[in-house]
Amino acid sequence: MSNVKKILISGVRYSGKTAVCLALASLFREDGVKVGYFKPVGWSSKSKGIDEDALLMKETLGIDHPLEVISPVVLDAYYLNRLYKGELADAERRIEDAYQALSRNVDVMLIEGAHAPVAFYSGRLSAFHIAGKFGAEVLIVNSFRSDLVLDDVLAQAEMFRLTGSRVIGAVFNNVPIIMLEKVKGMVREIAEKNGIRVWGVIEEDRRLTSPTVEEICNMLEGEILEEGNMKRIVEDIFVGAMNVEAALNYFRRGINKAVITGGDRMDVALAALETDTSMLILTGNLYPDVRLLARAREAGVTVILVPYDTYTTVQKLESVGGRIKPGDGKKIALAIDKVKREMNWRGLMKTVMEGK
């Protein structure tokens, strides 16, 4: 185990850490480095489900181990119940056994953290505990949406250091174009003054970060009344709560959008279908007129009915982001290309391999 170089990639949900893991593994391999992947603590929205990131990495990297080895512990929203009942008592042993199996014949092991660094702190198996257990160096990946992101990175780094791990740097990912120069300049300078080397500032690409219609449908768990192009991306969310004349002008401002409106607002929904709309989300369990569904069918637009009010629906959508799915060659190639061009991955690899 001591001969294997270990990098723990830490970040929050939708920070793009899986995409960075995938790209680094692919690029390191191209340079002749034998790379393994391990996600000791995974996450699933379903009880006893699978971790989708682990599945992506298994299929993309051709890892010849079952999913229960690649991600031996998979948490869900109610994992404290399982911990309290003793169902996770053997979690640490499972993680140790899985690592032993996965680390054979590799030079570098990429260890992906859970969907939050603190996840499973109650079981003493958070990202901080995992990094310490395996002696991993830490790379922090975070999407940059506000100034607080830098403070989050600095706080994470401090916690890792206090628990005995070496932080080798950070990557600011999914940076909106209007913030790009700020992050490349002032933010990078402040980070490096605080001892955090910035290996990359990666510009946001909506083809990677925007969810698909299918992903939104799965998250809202509503009733699909009309199925259009489920693979179409959703770049923006519009709420239709005005009169039809104002709605039409409003909807023309956005492309590839989801429009949220009441099922009884046929006029607003029809106006949305006259513009570049990816999907209609009808709230309040109010079934629409069949003429609306017929028009949606003609336009190839998905219509979903949800039981929530508009405010609740908007709140739920704030937590959804795009994911790379197994077999999605275009997104995989795009993620690798962006890391290759916008991150000093060779410098990172040299630092890890030489232990500097």
pTM attached to this predicted model: 0.82
- Phi-psi region for residue 105, left (φ > 0), alpha (ψ -120 to 50) or beta? left
Q: Does this chain's domain 5-208+324-354 share its CATH topology with 211-317?
A: no
Q: Band of the pLDDT at 2, cuts 50, 70, 90? A: low
Please, what's the b/e burial string for 15-31 (b: 16 or more CB within 10 A of its CB; e: otherwise)?
A: bbbbbbbbbbbbbbeee
Specify the 3-state DSSP secondary structure of 257.
strand
The model's pLDDT over 259-313, given as tens digits with 9 standing for 90+, comes to 999 988 999 999 999 999 999 999 999 999 999 999 999 999 999 999 999 889 9
- Mean pLDDT score of the chain: 93
Query: Which of residues 153 and 318 earns the better pLDDT score?
Result: 153
Which of 6, 14, 26, 106 is CA-nearest to residue 340?
26
Tell me what the mean pLDDT of segment 67-82 comes to.
Answer: 94
The model's pLDDT over 104-127, given as tens digits with 9 standing for 90+, comes to 999 999 999 998 999 999 999 999
Tell me what the mean pLDDT of segment 125-148 comes to.
Answer: 96
Q: Band of the pLDDT at 328, cuts 50, 70, 90? A: confident
Structural contact between residues 112 and 39, judged by C-beta atoms closer than 8 angstroms: yes
The model's pLDDT over 184-213, given as tens digits with 9 standing for 90+, comes to 999 999 999 999 999 999 999 888 878 889
CATH superfamily of 211-317: HprK N-terminal domain-like (3.40.1390.20)
Q: Band of the pLDDT at 1, cuts 50, 70, 90? A: very low
The model's pLDDT over 245-258, given as tens digits with 9 standing for 90+, comes to 888 889 999 899 99
Structural contact between residues 256 and 233, judged by C-beta atoms closer than 8 angstroms: yes
Q: Give residue limits of the domains in the chain.
A: 5-208+324-354, 211-317
CATH of domain 5-208+324-354: 3.40.50.300
Q: Band of the pLDDT at 89, cuts 50, 70, 90? A: very high
